[in-house]
Structure 1
Amino acid sequence: MTKDYFKEAAGYNLWANTIVCGWLEQINDEQWNREIISSFNSIQETVLHVISAENAWLQRFKKEPVEWLQSTYKGSKEDHIKLWKETSTELKAFIDAFDENELDTNLDFKRLNGDAYSMPFYQLFAHVVNHATYHRGQLVTMLRQAGFSGVGSTDLLGVYRKK
């Protein structure tokens, strides 16, 4: 894996998250907060989980203390959307500036439950993008269940077709 691959993956993540944020801007507060059975109980909770995970990984990458936003963040729908775009942009900037020679270097970190791990950056970068992709798929289903039909594709092929 090369740095170019991860720069492309981070660009895809930002592109797809921006599309989803556009959908979220179109739903009302009832849809945003409606209880829907999934990994998390609403669109809001699912979005906050993705933001929290991206933010936590960025903090780990920068060797900063991790603040798990899912347990503390109380912003509006608009605040969530703004924060998600900012976090995804910051992740892309971090990966863009990352030293390619460090991709195989392990990052020592602790999970939220305190368990210690050590994994190479390239695996963690892949995980962060894959994690967001998983939950974007859930959001498509949740949005449809909440009555929003304006969803479209966020598949990686969409980025490749634009090139």
Structure 2
Amino acid sequence: MAKNYLIQIANYNHWADNKIMEWLRQISDEQWEQVIVSSFNSVSQTATHIVSAEKYWVDLWTQIPEPIFLSAQFNGTRDGLIEIWKKSSADISTLVNSFPEGNYSQSIIFKYPRTGRIGQMPFWETVAHVINHSTYHRGQLVTLLRQAGYINLSSIDMATYFQMNKI
């Protein structure tokens, strides 16, 4: 697996996360909690799910003992969640940048949060999974934000990121 590719997609993830966080800071409490039928039934629940997953994987990669899935117990504020997200998103980029390419096949053992089942994948696959997972749910957030009446959105597609960051 090419390290440069993983670095690029981790940096894309960080950029897209930051765009979403900007939007989440602008919505009302009603928009944040409004019940809308989706995988998770509000902007709040969907954002919490993304943050939970990103933080979980960072904790696994940094070998935090018994990492938890944040959404199982998070009772904090929107600002508190955004701060956790900001750190986790930055940590993904930092970890991918600093992880030795020779260790990309290193096995990462993890626990599925809902079932408790144990899984195992090489590091590089976990990175690809985390980015794909976040991208999927950020797309849901865009739809939820529109349905909640927030329209100050812009493209967070990977192509947009790559075009903006051409040297």
TM normalised by structure 1 equals 0.96
Structure 2 unmatched ranges of 5 or more: none
Whether 1:35 aligns to 2:25 is no
Which one of the candidate residues 140, 159, 162 is aligned to 1:160?
Answer: 162
Q: For structure 1, which segment, 78-87 or 123-132, has the greater mean C-alpha deviation from structure 2 after superposition?
A: 78-87
Summarize deviations over 1:72-98 as a string: whole Å, max 9, x none: 111211112222111100111111110
Shift of 1:105: 2.0
User: What residue is the counterpart of 2:77 in the other structure?
Assistant: 76
Using the aligned pairs only, state the percent identity: 39
Counterparts of 1:116 and 1:51, CA distance in 2: 21
Alignment-mate amino acid for residue 102 of structure 1: N
Summarize deviations over 1:74-128 as a string: whole Å, max 9, x none: 1211112222111100111111110101112221222222212221111110000
SS at match of 1:40: coil
SS at match of 1:25: helix
User: What residue is the counterpart of 1:124 in the other structure?
Assistant: 126
Q: CA RMSD in A?
A: 1.0
TM normalised by structure 2 equals 0.94
Q: For structure 1, which segment, 110-119 or 3-12, has the greater mean C-alpha deviation from structure 2 after superposition?
A: 110-119
Alignment-mate amino acid for residue 36 of structure 1: I
Structure 1 unmatched ranges of 5 or more: none
User: What residue is the counterpart of 2:138 in the other structure?
Assistant: 136
Alignment-mate amino acid for residue 95 of structure 1: V
Alignment-mate amino acid for residue 72 of structure 1: Q
